[in-house]
Amino acid sequence: METGKIILGVAAGIAVGALIGILIAPQKGEKTREQISEKGSDLAEAIQDKLNDLFEGISKKLSSVAADVSAENEEKAEKKEQIKT
């Protein structure tokens, strides 16, 4: 979970920096709102990509652990059968 918090913190920092930069820039309000909307969309997409990567990594790790546990259970069952015979 530490990685997720770091990613979220970095993304939030980028968003705040971009927003401040846009708001300080001297241009029409319509143009500023358009830029804020674009930056927000870009940020949302970047966060979604990072979260997808994070969840994919977690999923792979859980699948690996499940496979290891399954293999251990099979080994234990085989040993148990050998002991019975």
More confident residue, 36 or 59: 59
Residue 60 clears pLDDT 60, i.e. is over it: yes
Residue 23: CA atoms inside 13 Å, Cβ hemisphere, count?
A: 6
Q: Give the total number of structural domains in the chain.
A: 1
Note the pLDDT tens digit of each residue in 66-80.
998 998 888 888 888
- The string of pLDDT tens digits covering residues 23-57 is 777 777 788 788 878 888 888 888 888 888 889 98
The pTM assigned to this predicted structure is 0.50
Q: What domain range includes position 80?
A: 2-84
Does residue 20 have a pLDDT over 70? yes
Q: 8, exposed or middle or buried, with CB in 10 Å at 0-12, 13-18, 19+?
A: middle
